[in-house]
């Protein structure tokens, strides 16, 4: 019975160790991803800005000049 308990304790301990290891790896990967995405340059326009410049006129969508400039600039 002692041998069975010893096996069970080792199994639970190794499962807990693997869980902690995977958790640490995931936290490290998330931290690296957030840090690398913070260094990426931001676009000079937003999709909202372009979408707001679209207006429906006579059944067709027309884009204001500021939206066209944003598209050409980006």
pLDDT in tens, 25-39: 999 999 999 999 888
* Residue 63, beta-bridge partner list: 54
State the pTM of this model.
0.53
Distances (CA, A) of 7 to 14, 16, 17, 20, 47: 11, 14, 15, 20, 59
**Mean local confidence (pLDDT), 27-56:** 83
């Amino acid at each position: 019975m002692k041998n069975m308990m010893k096996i069970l304790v080792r199994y639970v301990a190794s499962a807990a160790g693997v869980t902690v290891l995977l958790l640490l790896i995931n936290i490290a990967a998330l931290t690296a991803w957030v840090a690398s995405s913070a260094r990426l340059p931001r676009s000079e326009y937003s999709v909202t800005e372009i979408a707001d410049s679209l207006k429906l006129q006579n059944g067709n969508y027309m884009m204001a000049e500021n939206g066209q400039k944003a598209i050409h600039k980006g």
